[in-house]
Structure 1
Amino acid sequence: MDQQNIGKFIAQKRKEQNLTQEQLAQCLGVSNKTVSKWETGKCMPDYSVVKGLCAQLHITVAELLDGAPAEKNAAQASDEQVMELLRRTQALEKEKVTLYGILLIVMGIALLAVSHSFGGSDLQDFLSGVLLGISVGAILTGMCVSIKSLAKPK
């Protein structure tokens, strides 16, 4: 799955349908900048718009993901199977980001506990303060990442 080839394929099919990026974007409920990012290979369409995109371009999901028209003799997975695979992949990505956030929170709490064990001399107090700052930063970053990931609609 090559983003550049998929982007070129989307642009080619859009032009075959005599659609501008703006018109395609309006049909799909996205911005024309989003369509431009797809066509330049900077990002991939979200699974929630893949079916609509394929319908507008008169292609199958498998053709979209291949970045080329399907060969007549090739065995193809059904669109439902491909969509389910896309949905699962994006769900796993979301879970991964959430776990990274939780890991940052746990790491921040551990550093917070370590920072309280230092103290006594000026150097130890300094190290304690540095660890305290790092731990607070890790906790806040972890919370931000986790909340942002959990707030995204499925």
Structure 2
Amino acid sequence: MEFVKTNALSRTVLRPAALGTAVRRTAVLTATAGLLTAGLLTGPASADGPAGERADTMAACAYYNGNALTVYGQRGDRVSQAQCLLANRRYLPWGDVTGYFGPKTRAAVKKFQSRHHLTADGKVNKKTWYALYHA
């Protein structure tokens, strides 16, 4: 699929054969733009609130909605989703939400799994996804 953008706010031009994928991607991009505008997709603006209190606001993680096995070395939306959920729970710094499942992400997953009484193997499996969404 070929995307051509002229600037950050312009429309995307693509080949007709990719229309189905384009519609889905456009919907995701539109939702993401709305979350960014609302300040929900990125981490909290400040780690500390008034009088030194911790911010309890969690960022909306809108990269992936599923529970497929996600492991070291992978890239993409599943990894970004896991990283965002880990960052929301302060197992991973927001700067490490990169979409690449590297050593920092694996260490964060293992720490999360250990603290939630899961097998700490560093793989985001169905049980780990469930815990990330519901913990």
TM > 0.5: no
Hey, which of these two has a bigger chunk of helix by percent? 1
> Between Structure 1 and Structure 2, whose CA radius of gyration is higher?
1
For CA contacts below 8 A with separation 6 or more, give which structure has more relative contact order: 1
